[in-house]
Amino acid sequence: MDEAALAHDGKEIGSQGGHDTISGWGTRNACKTADLPSTLAALRQTMPVKDAAMSDAVWALGLMSGTSLDGIDVAMILSDGERALDIGPALTVPYEPALRERLRDLLGTRPGERQGAVAEVERLLTDAHAEAVHRLLALTRPRPALIGFHGQTLFHAPDQGITVQIGDGARLAALTNTAVINDFRSADVAAGGEGAPLAPAWHAALACDLPRPLAVLNLGGVGNVTWLSDDRSEPPLAFDTGPGNALLDDWMRTRQGLPHDDGGRLAAQGRVDQEALAALLQHAHFTRPPPKSLDRNAFSAQAVARLCDADGAATLAAFTVAAVAQALSWMPRPPALWLVCGGGRHNPVLMAGLAEALGCPVRPVESEGWNGDALEAQAFAFLAVRAHRRLPLSWPTTTGVPHPVCGGAPHAPPMA
């Protein structure tokens, strides 16, 4: 979605049942003070929130930049951290090509590596996010009480206790004169969790009135799924399914000089190489039980290197579909419906393949009135409200963490 496609649904969502959906998972009083950064108590005294106790809903703005490196998604929601009460405007600001390439060059960078380059790109990234915030706020009211700032993931290896997202929360707070919460994943990883996915609580809040079991599939750079039980007292099950668009995007860039397979046109012209597909599916990720997560670069396209462009694209698309189909084996009951968000929902080859492989309706999230381009940004707005209220962001069934964990690093804007 571009700036011209600014959306404002302006409707109440989930107010007649969403509260029980989330509070029933043991979220109240589940987080100890030690789970949060020590500065949170101070922030709660300085944040420019009309209701300082956050007992009522506030407008929050979320910022998300995924591993596909398309750009910055910006979205506003009205929430109390448990319910989706109103959906505000959203837009996407594409990265400048130079910044995109510098970010791409840093993917896979571990802590302590290339410190000068990381610091410079982090400043540029933060400034780009501030500009994205100002673009949205120039087009809408009201002003958000706080910002949830995901930043850009460079490296994610929870088995090593490492997750790296760059983005300067204090700088963003100063540039926007708004309280910021960032660093959403570190607390979960430090507690033994996967650090991802973090969107399931938002999916549950949005889907409180939809039939269950339900699966919400995000096809970004990495694929991840949220399974929502027909027993609404159960927390969601969530995990990374495998590759989303990353391998196919990289293939298109190196073979065709294009950012992605627009409309699935190249994949539609090719034939799936079953030998290569079988080799790709040998990855250890597929035998690990969930919860589990992946780095963007966890998979290699070496198995398709010998193929022509079209056959390689078709095989990589089939790999994404097969990875999602394998996820079914980890779900307690098959979903009655799959809702798909992320860039992958725009690829007809992926969507048709999913419908065939899963044997049930597969629809873009827009079929339920959701904004598929804004969903991840909305999730981090929601998580910011939850973090401020000291409510959990993750559970044993979503990240494998031993107990519900709060997270987020708060940053108050400079005092006037």
Domains 3-196+374-411 and 200-368 agree in fold: yes
pLDDT score at 61: 99
Phi/psi at 131 (5° precision): -65, -40
Burial 223-243 (b: 16+ CB within 10 A, else e): bbbbbbbeeeebbbbbbbbbb
Q: Does residue 66 have a known ligand-binding role?
A: yes
Q: Does residue 209 have a known ligand-binding role?
A: no
Phi/psi at 95 (5° precision): -65, 145
Other beta carbons less than 10 A from residue 123's beta carbon: 14
Q: Does residue 24 have a known ligand-binding role?
A: no
Q: Which one, of 204, 281, 189, lies nearest residue 237 by Cα?
A: 204
Three-state SS string across the chain, please? CCHHHCEECCCCCCCCCHHHHHHCCCCCCCCCHHHCCCCHHHHHHHCCCCCCCCCCCEEEEEEECCCCCCEEEEEEEEECCCCEEEEEEEEEEECCHHHHHHHHHHCCCCCCCCHHHHHHHHHHHHHHHHHHHHHHHCCCCCCCCEEEECCEEEEEEHHHCEEEEECCHHHHHHHHCCEEEECCCHHHHHCCCCCCCCCHHHHHHHCCCCCCCEEEEEECCEEEEEEECCCCCCCCEEEEEEECCHHHHHHHHHHHCCCCCHHHHHHHHCCCCHHHHHHHCCCHHHHCCCCCCCCHHHCCCHHHCCCCHHHHHHHHHHHHHHHHHHHHHHCCCCCCEEEEECHHHHCHHHHHHHHHHHCCCEEEHHHHCCCCCCHHHHHHHHHHHHHHCCCCCECHHHHCCCCCECCCEEECCCCC
Could you tell me which residues are beta bridge partners of residue 258?
Answer: none
Instruction: Read off the tokens for 144.
Output: 């958000």
pLDDT score at 23: 52
Q: Does residue 146 have a known ligand-binding role?
A: no
Per-residue tens of pLDDT for the chain, all 416 residues: 333 334 444 443 433 333 334 655 644 434 533 333 333 333 333 344 444 344 579 999 999 998 889 899 999 999 999 999 999 999 999 999 999 999 999 999 999 999 999 999 999 999 999 999 999 999 988 899 999 999 999 999 999 999 999 999 999 999 999 999 999 999 999 999 999 999 999 999 999 899 999 999 999 989 999 999 999 888 899 999 999 999 999 999 999 999 999 999 999 999 999 999 999 999 999 999 999 988 888 999 999 999 999 999 999 999 999 999 999 999 999 999 999 999 999 999 999 999 999 999 999 999 999 999 999 999 999 999 999 999 999 999 999 999 999 999 999 999 85
CA distance 84 to 78: 7
Say if residues 347 and 317 touch (Cβ distance below 8 Å).
Answer: yes
Q: Does residue 273 have a known ligand-binding role?
A: no
| CATH number for the domain formed by residue range(s) 200-368 | 3.30.420.40
pLDDT score at 241: 97
CA distance 183 to 152: 10
Domain ranges of the chain: 3-196+374-411, 200-368
CA distance 9 to 4: 15
Q: Does residue 166 have a known ligand-binding role?
A: no
pLDDT score at 302: 95
Quick one: CA torsion of 166, 373, 280, 111, rounded to 10 degrees? 0
Cis status of the peptide bond prior to 213, with omega within 30 of 0? yes
CA distance 7 to 4: 9
CA distance 29 to 152: 30
Query: What's the CATH fold of domain 3-196+374-411?
Result: Nucleotidyltransferase; domain 5 (3.30.420)
Instruction: Read off the tokens for 290.
Output: 């969930």
CA distance 410 to 182: 7
pLDDT score at 214: 98
**Radius of gyration for the alpha carbons in the chain, expressed in angstroms and rounded:** 20
